[in-house]
Structure 1
Amino acid sequence: MRKLLQIGGLLVGCIAGLATPLLAQRTISDARITYKVELPPEQLQMEAMFAGSSMTQYIRGNQSRIDMNFNVVNYIYLINTQSETVVTLMDNHGDKYLIRTDRKGYEQDLKKYQGTQFTDQQETKEIAGYRCRRAIGKNEDGTTFDVFYTIDLLPENKFYNRRFMNLKGIPLEFEIIIKAGSKMKAIATKVDLSPVPASTFDEPKGYKEITQDELKKIRG
């Protein structure tokens, strides 16, 4: 359970063909992307607990939402790039908590990913109906991760997921660094570009509001 809580915390905040013409690129303001989540080989002992885990990315204008479903522990991140705030919702086996990140905290977190650079590779493949190219992402701390992204779709709001603000398209497969170099993988299974209801970004009821320090104690 502690591993699940730690992994969720690290995700705060969670991607084309080489000859695709520039005119084929479509700027999108609304999207709903569903991903399946795969564990790294060294974490297979937790496979039963993680079975069926998923991630969903919602985008609507200056708002975005990330749902991480780890079965017994679920996270929801509500991100507003206009007000520069984040609301984190955690459901830990029925214990529900809400944590707010103000503008100062938002800007501090944003700085972590401003220096992330992506280097394109030759490898390409099709994911969820889109041709994707591989890139290697490198964070300022030197850690690297793989990503396959489509240049056919360009987010109108590049801060919808701050990890990918410097990526030239939408990521449809990517690695998530979880601990000591271990990486889990999110792979898109469906891309829906229909309008996302505004209610998707409403704060749900029934969550107890706590501070960041209280959250750290819960995660151990």
Structure 2
Amino acid sequence: MKKIGLSILMGVLLHTLVWGQKKLTEGTVYYDIVINTNNSKPSVPAMMDGATTVVYLKGSSSRSDFVSSLGSQSTIIDGKTGNVTILKDYGTQKFMSSLSQTEWKNINKRYDNPTYTIENEFKTIATYNCQKAIGKLSDGTTFTVYFTKDLVPVNTEFQNIARNLPGLAMEYEAVQGKTKITYTVSNVDFGAVPLSKFDLPQSGYRVIPYTELMKSKK
């Protein structure tokens, strides 16, 4: 009887754990951005303070819209082909780059296979219980991520820095020189995402090829 009772209890706990998680196959994730810099002079990163990133997920496709006072940048990943389109809109200057899956991975190779040390530290972000993890890149750079196991993205390509975590990154940091940029989820909307979000412009943008894009990053 004790064995039967234990089996039933384990089954209930497993059922609760599984049903407590939600597979994030479609929805919109809103991130607020805070810039921390020791530079007293205004800079481009500092002027990004108060910007937002909105991520649209639909199956294996995603669109990330970064919006600041300077302009906007969108990264659209085609889930069927793996191809990526980057749109930059800064006033009268509009640029578009179309990248293959291989080219996109090469641009982001710094973030390939980050490792994590998951710590016993928690906090609530946008009503979700989140656990702390310390990430480490291949070049030795470390960063902090808070993730929730309650939301498990089916598509992890939109978030290179947190791809190997067992849940959605609710807060994470990126470092550019002496500037630390913190992204924190303010809301998760599970409503349907229209296919039109993944439509690409047919005109109005100057096309920047991959080779020219790589030169600008050096």
TM-score per shorter chain, which class? 0.7 to 0.9
Give the conservation status (yes or no) of the 8 Å contact 1:114–1:166: no
- State the TM-score, normalized to the length of structure 1: 0.81
Are residues 142 and 27 of structure 1, via their aligned partners in 2, closer, same or farther at CA, if it must alter by over 3 Å? same
Q: Which residue of 1 aligns with 2:198?
A: 201
Q: Which residue of 2 aligns with 1:3?
A: none
Match of 1:96 among 94, 99, 104: 94
Q: Which residue of 2 aligns with 1:214?
A: 212
Are residues 39 and 110 of structure 1, via their aligned partners in 2, closer, same or farther at CA, if it must alter by over 3 Å? closer
Q: Which residue of 1 aligns with 2:134?
A: 136
Structure 2: which 5+ runs fail to align?
Answer: 1-15
CA distance in 2, matches of 1:122, 1:145: 16
CA distance in 2, matches of 1:90, 1:140: 29
Deviation at 1:32, TM superposition (A): 0.6
CA distance in 1, matches of 2:213, 2:108: 20
Give the conservation status (yes or no) of the 8 Å contact 1:99–1:212: yes
Q: How many correspondences in the alignment?
A: 200
1:167-182 to 2 correspondences below 5 Å? 167-179=165-177, 182=179
Match of 2:84 among 75, 83, 86: 86
Q: Does 1:21 align with 2:12?
A: no
Q: Which residue of 1 aligns with 2:13?
A: none
Give the conservation status (yes or no) of the 8 Å contact 2:34–2:182: yes
Q: Which residue of 2 aligns with 1:125?
A: 123
CA distance in 2, matches of 1:100, 1:81: 14
CA distance in 2, matches of 1:54, 1:201: 19
Select the structure with the greater relative contact order (CA < 8 A; seq sep ≥ 6).
1
Give the conservation status (yes or no) of the 8 Å contact 1:127–1:188: yes
- State the TM-score, normalized to the length of structure 2: 0.81
Counterpart secondary structure, 2:38:
helix
1:52-71 to 2 correspondences below 5 Å? 52-71=50-69
Q: Does 1:30 align with 2:23?
A: no
Counterpart secondary structure, 2:155:
coil
Deviation at 1:111, TM superposition (A): 4.9
CA distance in 2, matches of 1:215, 1:173: 28
CA distance in 1, matches of 2:127, 2:107: 33
Aligned CA RMSD, in angstroms, stands at: 2.4
CA distance in 2, matches of 1:31, 1:164: 18
CA distance in 2, matches of 1:141, 1:73: 31
Give the conservation status (yes or no) of the 8 Å contact 2:135–2:143: yes
CA distance in 2, matches of 1:107, 1:187: 25
CA distance in 2, matches of 1:134, 1:99: 35
Are residues 117 and 218 of structure 1, via their aligned partners in 2, closer, same or farther at CA, if it must alter by over 3 Å? closer
Counterpart secondary structure, 1:39:
strand
Structure 1: which 5+ runs fail to align?
Answer: 1-19
Give the conservation status (yes or no) of the 8 Å contact 2:76–2:86: yes
Q: Which residue of 2 aligns with 1:183?
A: 180
Deviation at 1:217, TM superposition (A): 6.1
Deviation at 1:197, TM superposition (A): 0.8
